[in-house]
Amino acid sequence: MSMECLAIIPARSGSKGIPHKNLKTVDGVPLVTRAVRSARAADSITRIVVSTDDKEIAQVAREAGAEIVMRPETLSGDEVPTEPALLHVLEILAAEGGYRPDLTCFIQCTSPLTTSDDLDQGIAALRAQKADCLVTVVPTYDFLWRRMAGGAAQAINHDANLIRKGRQEMEPQYRETGAFYVLRTEGFIAARNRFFGRIVLFEMSPEKSVDVDGPLDLELAEFLGARNVRHSE
């Protein structure tokens, strides 16, 4: 059975690490455009909206094929979580045309190596596993520590009193990448949080999981993107 799946791509203008980050380019293509193109190429996604507070971002996203919902200033600050911006889009679409998708796919511009196949596979995984929320992750075998009061260290994901195992003997843990999330819309509206109900993981390769937060991340995304293209030829 087909399902209506709305892609929402938040793309505000403010960014402390890289000014006007969502218009920076990887392989000559702005980050917001890359996100829109991936969503447009995904068979499972039926509608695409970019939420922004910036006219230039809005124009670039519109030219890439997205609809635009301009967000108010109250939803555009550094301290504002993403969920209110997503809910704002859903409220606007419902008020204007009674539109309510079965699924909401929240896509981050700052993960420029996400492909349409990733999106389709993630949406299919949520449906197949009868989940409410799907989050993208990469496996990690890192040994994590925390600094306690007074400066003493405490192991988090391993027992420091035991002889250290090799990484290959460890069970993987998973780091959230933030590339995209797939949410059952009704549950998301009720919870007002991207995490609710039955949550499942969608594993992505480390090579696709660059999160652009600073200039070095842009360079890494450029390098990995070019390498991925060479390997697919």
Question: Of the candidates 10, 34, 4, 38, which has an alpha carbon nearest to the alpha carbon of residue 184?
Answer: 4
| CA–CA dist 51, 70 (Å, integer) | 6
Structure tokens at 144: 């994590």
Cβ proximity of 44 and 119 under 8 Å: yes
Collapsed DSSP state (helix, strand, coil) of residue 26 = strand
Question: Of the candidates 114, 112, 102, 106, which has an alpha carbon nearest to the alpha carbon of residue 84?
Answer: 106
- One pLDDT digit (tens) per residue for the chain, 233 residues: 789 999 999 999 877 778 889 999 999 999 999 999 999 999 999 999 999 999 999 999 999 999 999 999 888 877 788 999 999 999 999 999 899 999 999 999 999 999 999 999 999 999 999 999 999 999 998 889 999 999 999 999 888 888 887 777 778 899 999 999 999 999 999 999 999 999 999 999 988 999 998 899 999 999 997 766 544 43
pLDDT at 230: 44
**Residue 168 burial (10 A CB sphere; 0-12, 13-18, 19+):** exposed
pLDDT at 233: 39
pLDDT at 163: 85
pLDDT at 194: 96
| CA–CA dist 177, 199 (Å, integer) | 15
CATH of domain 5-139+173-227: 3.90.550.10
Q: HSE-up of 81 (CA within 13 Å, CB side)?
A: 6
Prediction pTM value: 0.92
The 3-class secondary structure across 96-113, one letter per residue, is: HHCCCCCEEEEECCCCCC
| CA–CA dist 123, 43 (Å, integer) | 10
